[in-house]
Structure 1
Amino acid sequence: MTTTAPSALRVRPRIWIGLVIWLAYLVLVFAVQSASGIPYQEWGDSAGNLFFGGGVSLIVATVLLAITTSLLGWWRPALFDRERSRHRWPIVVPILVVVAAGMNLAGTDWASYSGAFLAASVVLLLVGFTEELVNRGLLIVALRSRLHEGWVWFISSALFGLGHYINVLLGAPAGDTTIQVFAAFLGGTAFYIFRRTTGSLIWAMALHGLWDFSVFATGVGHAGDITAIANVVYLFTGFLGLAFVAFVIRGSKERADVATAPSTGGSASIPAE
C-alpha cells in the first residue's frame, strides 16, 4: 500500500545534509543545556531544574527543526514512507515497548509529583518529536539518497545511540552513559521498525516521547518493583528488534527518487533502488 507519492523537494537529499543536521542538533542541545548551568544529574531535583536544564533546549530545537524541515521541503519523506513494510508482524517489537512504558508508569510514585514538576516533565515529551525527526526523519531521508535500507537502519540507529554521549559532557557518568548508548541503539531499532510497519514516523515520535517520559518518571520518589521488570522487557524487546529488523528492510523501495524543485536548479530524479 502506497503511503506517499513522489513529490518535488526544495533541496535534493544528500548524506552530508543529514549528518550536519544530526551534529547541529547535538551542538544546540549541548549549548542550551550547558548554558543553564544545571548538571544532568540534578534535573530531577526540582521543576525549575527540569524545565531549564532539559525542557528549554527541546523547545528551541523543536522550533528550529520545524523551520529547517520546511526550508528543505522534506516534511513528507521525513514523516512518511512511500510504502509500508511487506511484513507487518514485527510491529510486536514497538508494542512491547508500549507495554514496558506502561509498566514504568504503573510503578511510578505519582504521590511524589507536584503539579509544577509534572508540568515541567510533560515538556520532555517533545524529545519524541525532536530526536525522531532528526534521527529517523531527516537523517533517514538523507541516507536514503545513496544507501541501501539496511545501512539506513544501522547508521541512523547507531548515530542515535552515539548522540547520547553528550550526557557525559553534561555531567553523567561515562559508564552509565555507555549502557544508555547501547540501549538507545536497541530502542532506535524498535522505533525504526515502528516507522516501517506503520509507514509513518508519527507513531514512533509518540512512542519515543512516552518511553522517555516513563523512564524519567520512575526516578521521582520511590518506584515500584514492576519498573525493574520493565527494564528486562525493554532489553528483551531490543534484542528481538535486532532479530526482526531484517524483515522490515527486505524489499524496501524507499531509496529517494523524488525530483528537486526547479528553484534549486535541478529537476533530475535520484535513481531508485
Structure 2
Amino acid sequence: MKVQPRPSVGVLVFVAYLAVFYGVWIATGIEYKNVGDSASTLLKWYVAPLAAGTVMLVIAATALGWWRAALVEVRKAPRWTLITPALMLLLGLVSLTQKDYSDTTSRMWLYLLVGSIGVGFCEELATRGLLLVGLRGTLSERQVWLWSSLLFGLMHLPNWAFGGGPGAVGQVGLAFLSGTTFYLLRRGTGMLLFAMVLHGFWDCAAFVDSGGAIVAFLNIPVGIASVVIALRLTKLDRDEPTLAPYAVAQQPVAA
C-alpha cells in the first residue's frame, strides 16, 4: 500500500466522491423525482454523475494503492451469511416481473443499464471498498460494518435537498439495511465484485418504470435479518486487528 489505511483517509475519499457526484447534480440542475423520465434525464442525472465518480474513485484507489484490499476480502465469512443476499436477489427478480415496460425505450434501457453498473461500481467501491479499508486501519470489524453501512445510508440524505423531500430520511434507513446485506455478500464471497453486481441489479430493478413497491417493502425484513447476521458474524470476529493480512501482503520484499 502506498498510504497506510486510516479511518480519516477512508472518510476523506468517501466525502470527495460525494462532492463529485452531487457537484454534477448541482451543475446540471437535478430534478430528483424526474431522473427516470426520459433518456436525456437518465444520461444527465444518472449516468453523468456516476461517470465522474468513477474517474475520481479510480484515481483515488490507484494513488492510495488500495485496489487489492478494496476488492478482495481476506476475512471470508461462513456461507450461511449469504442467505440474505440470496433473498435480495430473488426479490429483485420478482420485482422485474411486476413492472410495465411499455414506456421504456431502448435508449432508456441503455442508460439504465450503464447507470446501474455505475451505481454498483461507485457506491460499493466508495463504501464497502475504500471506506471499509480505511476504517479497518484502526477499528474493530463490528465498527467497520456499522460505520460503513451507516455512512452508506447517510449518503442518500442529500436527496432531500435535491427534490426527494422527507422521504430521503426513509432512504437512509433502507440503505443502511441494504448496505449491511452488501457487506455480508462481500464477506461471504470474498470479493467486492458480487456486491457491485447485486447492488447494480437491485437499483436497476427498483429504478426502471413503476411498480414493485411491495417487493421493495419486503426487503426491509431481509435487511433486518442481515443486521442480525452481521451482529453475529462480527461477534465471531471479536476485536482482532482487521488490517493485518493486508499489511503483511503489501510489504515490499527487501533486495
TM-score, structure 2 length as denominator?
0.92
Per-residue CA deviation, residues 151-203 of structure 1 (Å, 9 max, x unaligned), is: 00000000000010121221211x21111110000000000011111111110
2:34 to 27, 42, 48: 42
2:170 to 167, 176, 179: 179
Runs of 4+ in 1 over 6 A off after TM superposition: none
User: 2:204: which partner in 1?
Assistant: 213
User: 1:242: which partner in 2?
Assistant: 227
Q: In the alignment, residue 130 of structure 2 is paired with which amino acid?
A: L
- Post-superposition offset of 1:34: 1.3
Per-residue CA deviation, residues 38-93 of structure 1 (Å, 9 max, x unaligned), is: 311111221101110121010111122112101111011101111311x2212011
Query: Number of matched residues?
Result: 247
Once residues 104 and 31 of structure 2 are traced to their aligned partners in structure 1, the CA distance between those partners, rounded to angstroms, is 21
- Post-superposition offset of 1:112: 1.7
Once residues 161 and 48 of structure 1 are traced to their aligned partners in structure 2, the CA distance between those partners, rounded to angstroms, is 27
Identify if the C-alpha distance between structure 1 residues 45 and 243 changes in structure 2 by more than 3 Å, giving closer, same or farther. Answer: same
Q: In the alignment, residue 43 of structure 2 is paired with which amino acid?
A: F
- Post-superposition offset of 1:119: 1.2
**Is residue 104 from structure 1 mapped to residue 104 from structure 2 by the alignment?**
no
User: 2:139: which partner in 1?
Assistant: 147
- Post-superposition offset of 1:12: 0.8
TM-score, structure 1 length as denominator?
0.86
Once residues 206 and 250 of structure 1 are traced to their aligned partners in structure 2, the CA distance between those partners, rounded to angstroms, is 27
Once residues 156 and 61 of structure 1 are traced to their aligned partners in structure 2, the CA distance between those partners, rounded to angstroms, is 18
Identify if the C-alpha distance between structure 1 residues 245 and 218 changes in structure 2 by more than 3 Å, giving closer, same or farther. Answer: farther
Answer whether contact 2:120 2:199 (CA < 8 A) is retained: yes
Structure 2: any 5+ residue segments left out of the alignment?
A: none
**Is residue 128 from structure 1 mapped to residue 113 from structure 2 by the alignment?**
no
1:201 to 172, 187, 192: 192
User: 2:179: which partner in 1?
Assistant: 188
2:43 to 43, 51, 54: 51
Which deviates the most, 37-46 or 124-133? 37-46
User: 1:82: which partner in 2?
Assistant: 74
2:53 to 57, 61, 86: 61
Identity of aligned residues (%): 36
Q: In the alignment, residue 231 of structure 1 is paired with which amino acid?
A: A
Q: In the alignment, residue 91 of structure 1 is paired with which amino acid?
A: L
Answer whether contact 2:17 2:56 (CA < 8 A) is retained: no
Once residues 138 and 27 of structure 1 are traced to their aligned partners in structure 2, the CA distance between those partners, rounded to angstroms, is 16
RMSD: 1.7
- Post-superposition offset of 1:217: 1.0
User: 2:153: which partner in 1?
Assistant: 161
- Post-superposition offset of 1:111: 1.9
Structure 1: any 5+ residue segments left out of the alignment?
A: 1-8, 268-273
Identify if the C-alpha distance between structure 1 residues 96 and 104 changes in structure 2 by more than 3 Å, giving closer, same or farther. Answer: same
Once residues 18 and 241 of structure 2 are traced to their aligned partners in structure 1, the CA distance between those partners, rounded to angstroms, is 26
Q: In the alignment, residue 29 of structure 1 is paired with which amino acid?
A: F
Q: In the alignment, residue 137 of structure 1 is paired with which amino acid?
A: G
- Post-superposition offset of 1:104: 1.4
Once residues 254 and 229 of structure 1 are traced to their aligned partners in structure 2, the CA distance between those partners, rounded to angstroms, is 41
Per-residue CA deviation, residues 107-155 of structure 1 (Å, 9 max, x unaligned), is: 1212221111111211221100000001000011000010000000000
Answer whether contact 1:104 1:215 (CA < 8 A) is retained: yes
**Is residue 232 from structure 1 mapped to residue 217 from structure 2 by the alignment?**
yes
